[in-house]
Amino acid sequence: MRKKSKKIFYKTKEEIELIRHSCTLVGKTHAAVVDFIRPGVKTSKLDEVAETFIRDNDAVPGFKGLYDFPFTLCISINEEVVHGMPSNYELKEGDVVSIDCGVLSNGYYGDSAYTYCVGEVREDVKKLLEVTKESLYKGIEQAVIGKRVGDISFAIQQYTERKCGYGVVRELVGHGVGRQLHEAPEVPNFGKRGRGPKLLEGLVIAIEPMINMGKKDVIRSTDGWTISTADGKPSAHFEHTVAVSKNQADILSTFKYIEAAIKNNIELSEIT
């Protein structure tokens, strides 16, 4: 879904706040979709809800039309890793759903992904989601001035692949974020410490572990977009957009609204 650019654009404090605004709207869009992540709902409905919410908030879906992608959300089910296309598929109990959302507001993009459970999900799949999310924050811990991209990559790979035995996707990576959705540098989820571009003040990047329960290998669907695991085992995807800072990364996106909505839905289901 991305075109490569070698030039790194460093952001001013004002630009970082504009990116934060877009990222906050991404988080709120995810939360608006949470109510519809339940058995029997078509994934096309999730896309419709997201687009309406974004436009009602005076912004533009960041993915729609980019590289000719025709939808607001990338919705990837179970063994689908990323770039899944909304469709007439009806969510089923036990599915896991990766939703990636981008927003363009005031000339700057926001980008964030979260993987959701539909009803009761197998314990081994829940564990995959937990580890993938934890690895995101382990990568973010390395996003400080003076480190290198490889330090982020190594932290994610060390935790998910070497410690937990999962497969780290090689073909898909994180990226810079700004006036373009995909800017330099690329941020792989595998690599060696001390390698890659140096992390400097003003660098804004999307860190997004894409982790498979089985092997790392992936295949592309005949639709030209959807990337799935080659062995058919589940995959998980979590993403934050962050600004590199001195002592700790500044996380510009947020899961706060998402997780509040998930908690509210669980509490309501327990009451009923």
Does residue 1 carry a pLDDT above 90?
no
Average pLDDT, the chain: 96
pLDDT grade for 133, boundaries at 50, 70 and 90: very high
Does residue 89 carry a pLDDT above 60?
yes
pLDDT digits (tens, 9 = 90+) for 166-189: 999 999 999 999 999 999 999 999
Above pLDDT 70, what percent of the chain?
Answer: 96
Is 110:23 a contact under the CB 8 Å cutoff?
A: yes
pLDDT at 265: 83
Q: Which residues on neighbouring strands pair with residue 157, listed in sequence order?
A: none
pLDDT digits (tens, 9 = 90+) for 61-80: 999 999 999 999 999 999 99
Does residue 92 carry a pLDDT above 70?
yes
pLDDT digits (tens, 9 = 90+) for 213-256: 999 999 999 999 999 999 999 999 999 999 999 999 999 999 99
pLDDT digits (tens, 9 = 90+) for 29-59: 999 999 999 999 999 999 999 999 999 999 9
Rounded to 5 degrees, what angle do the CA atoms 103, 107, 111 make? Answer: 30
Does residue 156 carry a pLDDT above 70?
yes
Identify which has the larger pLDDT, 270 or 180: 180
Does residue 207 carry a pLDDT above 60?
yes
pLDDT at 266: 79
pLDDT at 34: 98
Kindly report the pTM of this predicted structure. 0.96
Structural domains of the chain sorted by starting position, each given as residue range(s) with its CATH number in brackets: 13-271 (3.90.230.10)
